Chains A and B, each alone.
Chain A
Amino acid sequence: MDGILTLVGFGPNGWGDEIASGVLVTVSLALATVPFGLALGFAIALAKLSGDRYLKLSADIFTTIFRGLPELLTLFLVFYGAQIAIQRILAAMGHTGGIELNAFGAGMVALGVVFAAYASEVFVSAFRAIPRGQYEGAEALGLGRWRTMRHVILPQLIRIALPGLSNLWLILLKETSLVSVIGLADIVRQTGIAARVSREAFLFYSIACLLYLILAMLSSIAFNRIEKRVATPGMTR
């Protein structure tokens, strides 16, 4: 028992500080991905609902590709593919020598486009759930397109989309674990190193699972707060 406490402690023989930094990396990767993924997903949802055939088709192609590819493969495609592309472009410009892509950046892009593909579907169904009368009412009040969106549609949209988005956040949190494969020092990688060095694989991978559970629980609490905050008192749907 003492041995275990030393192993997971924060001392020089313990892995506590390494694992804590891994938690930080996991959380910051997920947090960095969300704004990018949300913005892209919202734009794709608008494209799907624009009524223009070609715009909808190109948005559908995006969703089909990034919902159909395994996340790990998307990650490799971005990580190696972008590396090769940048190297070719630099070589064409006369630059020689290798270039190493940042694992954090590659993870952010790969997880972000996948998040966007799923988020666009959530936004589309949320848009569909808003009755036409809301747009007509806004128009009758003389609101322009931008103000209708900002003051009438968005507040309702957030409320409807929130459960779907919180689901996507939980999925994203779990998917960040894949970035450990391309060398980012997240929870899985740090506990993996600890497991290999200390030969206590079960202990450390259990800790990894426990940490993800704790993050999921904290997220649920946060989302419940947000949901209460954006809810209109007395309104039912």
Chain B
Amino acid sequence: MSETRYIAAEPAPAIVGNTWTAARVLGLVLLAFWILCGLGIVAFLVASWNPGLIQRYGPNYVSGLWVTIKLVVVSVLLGAILSVPIAMGRDTSNRLVRGFSYGYVYFFRGTPLLAQTFLIYYGLGSFRPQLEAVGLWTFFRDAWYCALFAFTLNTSAYQAEILRGAIASVSRGQWEAASALGLSRLQTIRKIIAPQAMMVALRPYVNEIILLLKGSAIVAIITVFDLMGETRRAYARTFDFQTYIWAALIYLALVELLRIGTEKAEARLTRHLQRR
């Protein structure tokens, strides 16, 4: 019997080599660049600090922000309602309905929101006598209602696709099992399909809201005084570039808030899937 000899335990070898890799150096340089940019913006805002300007245009910015939020929230909600029949239309057996909803979605997803807004705001003015005859002219004369109308139609097309994709992602077996349990169609959708589809749809939905929030800046061009509109007005009167910087900071904060909120909501929706 030979004596078994083990090698004495040793600590892991120290990491040799340069920790200052090219990636690290480049990373630090770029980070320094961002920090300088940030400091530059802060310095610029401090240097051009003007209480009179804030006092004069601050309330305008608040009302502009409110207009932006109202526009996005109302059009997303109305679009959500409108998206249901369109999503259903995409999958019905009726060829006419299917063709119409396909064309609807294709049109609104294939053309710029700006062109759609112009088509409704300026274009429908060509039909003024007809619109007056049916009493809709007061609606389409107003830039705010036109923007709301265009945004609702646009987002409903995108939301219809999200809805369709999310429902298609729930496997057939779920429908069959629900029907085997004797659940009605409405119960199946509410209790079985919707919760599972929501997990898939949450991220695309929030992306759509973010896209619409960013897209809402274009209503400033058709003279709606949203956040962007107020910014443009303030810049046109003062030629002070900080007006745009403030708008950028507000938009960034809004989008980040939405993103963080989604992550929280997603964690809650998928809490049964998380490993502890």
Q: How many residues of B contact A (CB 8 A)?
A: 47
**Contact between B118 and A205, CB atoms less than 8 A apart:** yes
CB distance from B228 to the nearest CB of A (A): 6
**Contact between A213 and B107, CB atoms less than 8 A apart:** yes
**Contact between A64 and B256, CB atoms less than 8 A apart:** yes
**Contact between A52 and B241, CB atoms less than 8 A apart:** no
> Does A177 make an interface contact (CB < 8 A)?
yes
Give the complex CA separation of A177 and B218 in angstroms. 11
What total count of A-B pairs have CB within 8 Å? 139
Q: Mark B229-268, 1 if CB is under 8 A from A, else 0.
A: 0011001000001001001100110011000000000000
Q: Mark A50-62, 1 if CB is under 8 A from B, else 0.
A: 1111111111010
Partner of A54, one of B24, B116, B218, B232: B24
**Closest B residue by C-beta to A83:** B241
Most chain A beta carbons < 10 A, residue from B30, B31, B115, B118: B115
> Does B217 make an interface contact (CB < 8 A)?
yes
Give the complex CA separation of A71 and B127 in angstroms. 32
> Does A203 make an interface contact (CB < 8 A)?
yes
Q: Which of B99-122 contact A (CB under 8 A)?
A: 106-107, 110-116, 118-119, 122
Q: Mark B109-153, 1 if CB is under 8 A from A, else 0.
A: 011111110110011111100000000000000000000000000
Supposing A52-B23, A177-B114, A212-B111 touch, asked if A205 and B122 sit within 8 A by C-beta, the answer is: yes
Q: Which of B70-112 contact A (CB under 8 A)?
A: 106-107, 110-112
**Contact between B118 and A213, CB atoms less than 8 A apart:** no
**Contact between A177 and B30, CB atoms less than 8 A apart:** no
Determine the chain A residues whose CB is within 8 A of the CB of B31 once the complex forms. Answer: 54, 57-58
Determine the chain B residues whose CB is within 8 A of the CB of A84 once the complex forms. Answer: 241
> Does B168 make an interface contact (CB < 8 A)?
no
> Does A68 make an interface contact (CB < 8 A)?
yes
> Does B66 make an interface contact (CB < 8 A)?
no
**Contact between A195 and B122, CB atoms less than 8 A apart:** yes
**Contact between A188 and B248, CB atoms less than 8 A apart:** no
Give the complex CA separation of A192 and B241 in angstroms. 28
Determine the chain A residues whose CB is within 8 A of the CB of B21 once the complex forms. Answer: 52
CB distance from A118 to the nearest CB of B (A): 11
**Contact between A69 and B114, CB atoms less than 8 A apart:** no
**Contact between B27 and A55, CB atoms less than 8 A apart:** yes
Partner of A57, one of B27, B252, B255: B27
Give the complex CA separation of A203 and B126 in angstroms. 9
Determine the chain B residues whose CB is within 8 A of the CB of A54 once the complex forms. Answer: 24, 27-28, 30-31
CB distance from A204 to the nearest CB of B (A): 8
Partner of B217, one of A53, A70, A208: A70
> Does B53 make an interface contact (CB < 8 A)?
no
> Does B49 make an interface contact (CB < 8 A)?
no
Supposing A54-B28, A68-B256 touch, asked if A73 and B123 sit within 8 A by C-beta, the answer is: no
> Does A146 make an interface contact (CB < 8 A)?
no
Supposing A52-B23, A81-B244, A174-B113 touch, asked if A70 and B118 sit within 8 A by C-beta, the answer is: no
Give the complex CA separation of A227 and B255 in angstroms. 34
> Does A86 make an interface contact (CB < 8 A)?
no
Please list 5 pairs of residues, one from A and one from B, whose beta carbons are closer than 8 Å in the complex, sorted by A's number. A50-B23, A69-B248, A70-B251, A80-B241, A177-B112
Given A61-B34, A77-B248, 4 other A-B contacts at CB below 8 A? Answer: A51-B23, A76-B232, A188-B112, A195-B123
